């Protein structure tokens, strides 16, 4: 084997070995947990989504009510002025 081949082999094997060591340790475990997630996290997110939808529906009702009140006040003001803008 020529010296060039040895250097190429070392240049390829060393980074592969380093990545394998890193991913085999705590960093690899943390990455696996983050990528894999859990079913429990999905259930928590689903519950939060249901809660947010309920809150949004309540806010929509409040906006509708406010719009009706403002429109009614505007109509009363126009009636008091004799319908003139």
Q: Over the stretch 10-63, which tens digit does the pLDDT of each residue have? A: 999 999 999 999 888 998 888 888 888 776 777 888 899 999 999 999 999 999
**pLDDT given at position 84:** 59
**pLDDT given at position 23:** 87
Nearest Cα neighbor of 32 from 41, 40, 23 is 23
Helices marked H in the chain — which ranges? 3-24, 26-36, 39-80
- Cβ atoms of residues 22 and 28 within 8 Å: yes
> Rounded to an integer, what distance in angstroms lies between the CA atom of residue 36 and that of residue 70?
51
Sequence ranges of the domains in the chain: 1-37, 39-85
pTM: 0.47
**pLDDT given at position 15:** 92
Is residue 30 classed exposed, middle or buried when 0-12, 13-18 and 19+ CB atoms within 10 A define those classes? exposed
């Amino acid at each position: 084997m020529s010296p060039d081949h040895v250097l190429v082999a070392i240049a390829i094997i060393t980074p592969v070995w380093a990545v394998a060591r890193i991913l085999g340790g705590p960093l690899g475990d943390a990455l696996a947990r983050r990528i894999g997630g859990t079913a429990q996290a999905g259930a928590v997110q689903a519950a939060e989504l249901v809660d947010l939808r309920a809150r949004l529906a309540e806010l929509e009702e409040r906006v509708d009510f406010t719009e009706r009140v403002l429109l009614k006040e505007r109509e009363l003001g126009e009636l008091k002025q004799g319908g003139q803008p």
